[in-house]
Chain A
């Protein structure tokens, strides 16, 4: 039983949502990873998904990235040339969508980067898959993406394996934004980094988000990260969405017992 009144559908926001997920469910054997999860993200919005391990938040992000398919559910992106349930797309169409329309930053840079290639090469690969064939353009576009991610350009040909954690995340970011995707997904982008470095990376993200009006979905167990970045928040627990609302409202006036626990547990 929550104290709040039921909210109405949008009246002033006339732009349709960019991302719509409905009724996504997924189980692995006996384990329920996701149970009837729905989410809506509007253009230029930052949606934060917060939850502890086992909440399903990373699984949900993988679904949004079309890396995995749910047992049931509907997923739509309001992008030119796309229609219908994206979960029905074949392998090749999914790959192209992931490669060219959606950017992703993983918690573990080894997952998102080719460690033995150059940093600029990592970004260039994205452009090459999308069909860029001019060496000069590859160099220039990779440089621009790395610059926007506030990566030191004099190291653009260093290999990620030689770089610090924060720099590796910046390379991931550059790779993710190189094709100017409409949607950027971030899975615990700063977890594991030193606190001071975290703040710097988040700052870069905020700046990018404002300058390019990128729509973002950020998953984190760290409330501070979500508080800094998100406009709206979804709280997940054991595969379900237990609460969602404006970020400041969820943190200042949590309705669900679990959210209250989560918010008040912060040291």
Chain B
């Protein structure tokens, strides 16, 4: 059976971060249109990321020796939920902060740490994650991009797909094959840090259905990587990626993706003389889902702090979280059009259109719903 996620208090020291973050956001987000804010961890703003970094809020969990905050995962949770609920555009540094930095700290050589971590912490090095390929989406173990060891370094050949931010990140941590064939599945995979400015790297942006451009296809045509592009052990890529995905899946971004919309809709209800019972019930239903989910996410954070890697539990929380994130725009769309003659605020409608159209992606990133449910089933001991 899957371990129960039990209520875990966030220490006072981490809670103490909130007022400063809120005060900063009041200033920094002033005047930004609501539908831009609704992009949140998909909203890219390098200046904003650097402003956060100046305050020490990028790499909060990385060691002080590299310029990081030296704080535990609770601090990052508090910071993340304050940023995400306000719709702060954190996409530029988010992947490096959440997973690439911790990955380099855990598996990197001293030289790799010394080089990358200070740059991540200053929001000077942005990362993307190269996992999916044209023939290898959910079935990652079948990927074909290959790095071959040569006298000069690693020769990288292949293609990644759906790589978020590849067109504006400096580095990619790519999962590639260093030995064997796709038939070897999880054996022979390794992680490489790819400098995206190297010759032979071509990034082509793919527009999404809302008109935004965040994901890409990335081609590697005999890209020569230095020997030290390898991160961690050769052939240990699968285990490293699995641990990394626990970070990706356990965070509050899997709960709060529709919060800007929800808060905007609540403001709309408050501005009217009396909300209908159906509207109140909907607000309450969303709250009743949000509260335990948030505490489940805190409980995962507590497990990370203890040094665990709660992979199955993270899958469970992510699947529940994305279900709520997707339900919110659909339910609000229904509520807002319950009276087709009523006039509604333009900004709210615009925010709704964006979130409603983009919300199918919530359960695709970081492992699809079906894959996560398969993991949960294994965790339950279904044979």
Are A and B genuine complex partners? no
Q: Taking beta carbons and an 8 Å cutoff, which residues of B are in contact with A?
A: none
